[in-house]
Amino acid sequence: MDTRDPALNLRSSASRSWRREDVLALAPAAVLLAALFLGALAGAVKVSLVPLGGGIGDASLASWRQLFADPSFRDGLVLTLEVTIASTAIAAALGVALALALRRSAGAVRAVAAAPVPVPHLLVAVIAVVWLGPGGLADRILGSLPFDLIGNRNGAGIVAVYVYKEAPFIALLVLAAMGRSLEQREEAAAVFGAGGLKRAAWVLWPTIRGPVVVGSIIVAAFAIGALEVPLAVGPNYPPTLAVYAFQTTQGDLISGEGRAAAALLLAGFLAIVLASVGVRHARSADNE
Amino acid sequence: MRLRRIEVSRWLSAAAAVTAFAVGLGACADDRQPSAAGATDFKEIADEARGQTVRWWMYGGDERINDYVDSVVAPAARRAGIELERVPVADTADAVQRVVAQRRAGETSGGAVDLIWINGENFAAGKQAGLWLDGWTRRLPNAALVDFEDPSINRDLRVPIDGQELPWSRAAFVYAYDQKRTPTPPSTFDQLLDYARAHPGRVTYPAPPDFTGTSFVKQAVIAKGADEGFNYLAELKPLMWQQGERFPKSEAELNRLFANGEVDFAMSFDPSFIASEVRKGEFDESVRPFLLEGGALVNTSYVTIPADAANAAGAQVVADLLLDPRLQAQKADPARLGIPTVLDLDRLDPTERRRFQGSVASPYLLDDFGDVKSELGADQVRPLEERWTREILR
Amino acid sequence: MSERRTRLLVGVLAALFIAPLMVLLVQAFADSWRAPGVLPDQLGWRGFEVAFGSARAGDALVNSLLVAFAATAISLVLGWPAARVLGMRRLPRNGFVFLLIGLPLLMPPYLAGFGLTEWFIRLGIDDSLAGIVLAHVTFALPYAILILLSGFNREVEALEEMAATTGAGPARRLAWVTLPALRPTLIAAALLSFLVSWSQYGTSLAVGAGRPTLPIVMLPFIQTDPEVAAALALVFLAPCIVALAFVARLQRTPL
């Protein structure tokens, strides 16, 4: 037995600190992400502060002030948050339900359930319009639809498309975490007399909570910042944050790009806030 | 027999020399020639352009124009020794964004954008920021075929084009109606309002800041004045499709609504859009164009060269080619595109002028745009869009 | 779950998830499809003629494939060690690392147009396929790490330890214990990285200076020319479906 073998030290509490191997293992990914993404992010911040042709000295919060003064933006912020929360909650709930229904199904069935995942949001939005839009296929087949999703002022169309696309995504994440070991643990719990609900709370949920939280954060972040879906199926007014950014640069990019970058940076910031709240909640649950 | 581009410029140089001599002898000068100095400049540019690859960034969603550039313009460029690479983008702003990013990165040369088919607002903004190459347009040989005194040409959204953009096509705002649904279309805005009253829910227009929607609002303002125009739009709103609670977000969306029979009129700044949509199988063959207020809002389409373009010489040669009467005639041919030429037909010699005549008229194209209206200024666009959002949308 | 219920579920899923996509198949061949027709008025090849002609779907397909495979490979190679450390070693104060990894996932994709181009120009990696690959890796790598993370759990740790006690060296442990244990996770991470790169639009445009990729050539036709857009969409979806089917085969049995 080689006591220098790192594998043997994995769970030793004495080594719960950063070792050289850890840094080296993380370095390539971290350096790449930092070098590429942080620079781009800094560029976007600069766009929101410095007009074209100006230098550092011309930096100002003018774009940000204009942004917050614009009622379209404020209304759009509210709509964005509403749509995000609704989509995430519904997608998570349906995703878990789908995963539970499919946990013992064959790969072919899972593939069917996973069909929307590789389809980019843009295509899903386009297909939604083809089916559900005015004069669309649903109209032609059924005569006319009783409800109006596309262009719905409350963003129902946006929520529908997000849920359609993201529930299977969350289901996939959850399914990946549910393996044979979970089945064995559930059986063990059943043997010890735990009922269905108890098994769900004490065995199932802790296993799938991770993927559900991560999946929800990804879905929420995407919903806050996405452009193509609300552009295709969202209301004219108010515009979601990304649509606002797009419309601000329509026609004339240069005068609008400051506000557009600011709106998108704000969307990103909100996503970070939501993510930290989600993670902290999950962590505290972990420690109970 | 048509001379090739390089031969023409050499011919012009020779002719310039002869003519200068002839003028000195009191004979008439040929109107078509650029100055001798201009011709020499262009020859140098044409030589420098040989072997270059020119990247022309332009809207890529119109199959006919893509075809025209690939199968008519590109071969002509190849004959001049230039490889023309059409870079399709979803919006002109994508090309402008690239140029802006290059400027922000401090690049002054070697830019990835050589030529842009630009729109008025972005041109105005870019001109203010000094993004465009200057002083190259008037010395192109074919520039002499364009009437630069025409205010609808020398000003783009009322901003002087100076030497920074070159016209290459004409645009006129036309409307479409389906003969099967609407026997007689309205001919004024007031008649449009009456039509909407008689057929509620059958009229709509794209929401600004979409370009087509903004242009429609502009026309209402031009026809009736600012406040009256907005009163008109407010009056129209409850009679519109979906009671004006929802607007199509783009011209393309409005085309879909019109094609599906949801509304009775479509509109576009592309005077050949009906022919295009019929060809795509979207519009019924009974669709016809019409005008409001007796004349179309006309506009010129331009190309511009970013100041940091890597292949500016090649781009200038390509821009000059776009004004070649042969190419312009093919573009104007109703059987191909049917987009009106920007050349001044009086400046062409009879053989060339004949190219533009005698083609079979298409029922989908108007050959006369009536009493044309001129554009509003670039600086008025955003206030107009904001006012529309404030008063009509919310 | 009973046979009948399974079949019902499959039926519902198929109707919900597969049938709507079928409309693309029909629309790609619909030279004319006007309301109120439920089926096209006229079928033809115009969609594909334009797609592979002036829309350069062929070039775009090649570019997208090259970039996606490269981005997936790089994301897996870089993501594996990072996920291992983050997943198995419960290190203190790793929030900063997670934030860095999560940032590309949290920021709006549309933001790429406002900062990525300038930065990549300054770095000198713009206007090239390699640049596009790196831009895609920026967004695919976080996904790869997150998925791989879930695979590096205590059971794998225990398995590795057991292997170590029997004298297996690091390479042997990797090949015989870790990789097989993480096979489904690895496959999922590869698939997702591929899909993330495959559907990138804004980053490809920002960094590639107009080089054709499938999303880039497809977007201008959306709404304006449904037939061509549908044809391009089919070209776009075909590799995705192949990838999905391939993965379904590999993961045939539920764990």
CATH number for region A63-286:
1.10.3720.10
CA torsion, ordered B96, B101, B106, B108, to nearest 10 deg: -30
* B282 vs C contacts (CB less than 8 Å): 32, 34, 226
C-beta atoms of B62 and C121 within 8 A? no
| Residue of A164, A176, A279 with shortest CB distance to C185 | A176
Question: pLDDT tens digit string along A71-105?
Answer: 999 999 999 999 999 999 999 999 999 998 888 88
CA separation for the pair C134, C62 (Å, rounded) = 17
For residue B324, give the amino acid letter: D
Please provide the distance, in angstroms rounded to a whole number, between the alpha carbons at the two ends of chain B: 61
For residue B6, pLDDT over 80 is answered with: no
Return the residue in A32, A36, A250 with the most chain C beta carbons within 10 A, the one to mutate for interface testing.
A36
Show the tokens assigned to B254.
Answer: 């409005």
Question: pLDDT tens digit string along A3-25?
Answer: 455 554 444 444 568 888 889 99
CA separation for the pair B6, B348 (Å, rounded) = 19
Question: pLDDT tens digit string along A259-278?
Answer: 999 999 999 999 999 998 88
If you average pLDDT over every residue of chain B, what do you get?
89
For residue A109, give the amino acid letter: V
* A265 vs C contacts (CB less than 8 Å): 111
- Which residue, B284, B213, B205, is CA-closest to B240? B205
Hey, where are the domains in chain A? Answer: 18-60, 63-286
* C49 membership: H or E segment, kind and range: helix C46-52
For residue C58, report the phi and psi dihedrals to the nearest 5 degrees: -60, -50
Structural domains in chain C? 56-250 (1.10.3720.10)
- Residue B169: strand pairing partners: B301
pLDDT tens per residue, chain A (288 residues)?
444 555 544 444 445 688 888 899 999 999 999 999 999 999 999 999 999 988 888 899 999 999 999 999 999 999 999 999 999 999 999 999 999 888 888 777 887 888 888 888 888 888 988 888 888 888 888 877 777 888 888 999 999 999 999 999 999 888 877 877 788 888 888 888 888 888 888 888 888 888 899 899 999 999 999 999 999 999 999 999 999 999 999 878 998 999 999 999 999 999 999 998 888 887 776 654
Half-sphere exposure of A201 (CA within 13 A, CB side): 5
Nearest chain B residue (CA) to C42? B281
B147 CB near a chain A CB, below 8 Å?
no
Give the angle subtended at the CA of B136 by the CAs of B134 and B142, to the nearest 5°: 145
| ipTM of the predicted assembly exceeds 0.95 | no
B115-118: strand order across its sheet = B83-89, B53-59, B115-118, B298-304, B165-172
Structural domains in chain B? 5-170+300-355 (3.40.190.10), 174-295+372-393 (3.40.190.10)
| Residue of B63, B94, B101 with shortest CB distance to C225 | B63
- Residue B144 and residue B259 in contact, taking contact as beta carbons nearer than 8 Å: no
pTM given for the model: 0.89
Count Cβ–Cβ pairs < 8 Å, chain A vs chain B: 77
